[in-house]
């Protein structure tokens, strides 16, 4: 994850550095360091940010499941953890999903594939949508 993307995600979530630190269970100094480029953004922080972003309430239709978007055949769905756990909009979050016909064994490889996928592109479009006020 790049620094500017990290900042965009924080702002999209409507959080200050302090609030984001509390959400992520880290220090304000760590958040500041990520945004200044003094420290690399750890994998667990990147994953949590995507998860939080995926749960921002927006206007429009709810996201489609990955197996619908990717038109996965029954045998692939049967072997995929996203299908097993009914997590079609969170396939990018789950290790071992069968993307590009094979499971990826680490986050770095997986997220590279996911960023090119329509499922993740749909998630990233959330950055441009208006936020729905929560009651």
CA proximity to 85, closest of 55, 54, 93: 93
For the entire predicted model, the pTM comes to 0.71
Q: Exposure string (b/e) for 100-127, b if CB count within 10 Å is 16 or more?
A: eeeebeebeebbeebeebebbeebeebe
128: pLDDT strictly greater than 50: yes
The CATH class given to the 1-56 domain equals mainly alpha
Residues 20, 48, 10, 40, Cα dihedral to 10°: 90
Is the CB of residue 126 less than 8 Å from the CB of residue 54?
yes
Residues 63 and 25: their CA atoms lie apart, in Å, by: 28
pLDDT, residue 24, reads 93
Residue 25: pLDDT band (50, 70, 90) is: very high
Residues 48 and 24: their CA atoms lie apart, in Å, by: 7
8: pLDDT strictly greater than 60: yes
Q: Which tens digit of pLDDT belongs to each residue from 53-100?
A: 887 766 666 778 889 988 989 988 888 888 999 888 888 888 888 777
Domain map (residue ranges) of the chain: 1-56, 59-128
130: pLDDT strictly greater than 70: no
* Cα angle for residues 22, 130, 58 (degrees, 5° grid): 75
């Amino acid at each position: 994850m790049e620094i500017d993307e990290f900042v965009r995600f924080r702002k999209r979530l409507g959080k200050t550095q302090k609030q984001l630190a509390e959400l992520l269970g880290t220090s304000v100094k760590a958040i500041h360091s990520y945004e200044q480029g003094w420290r690399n953004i750890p994998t667990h922080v990147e994953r949590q940010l995507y998860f939080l972003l995926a749960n921002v309430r927006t206007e429009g239709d709810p996201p489609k499941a990955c197996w619908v978007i990717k038109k996965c055949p029954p045998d692939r769905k049967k072997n995929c953890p996203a299908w097993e756990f009914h997590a079609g909009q969170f396939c990018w979050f789950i290790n071992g999903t069968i993307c590009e016909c094979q499971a990826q064994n680490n986050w770095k490889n997986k997220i590279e594939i996911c960023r090119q996928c329509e499922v993740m592109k749909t998630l990233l479009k959330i950055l441009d949508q208006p936020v729905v006020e929560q009651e």
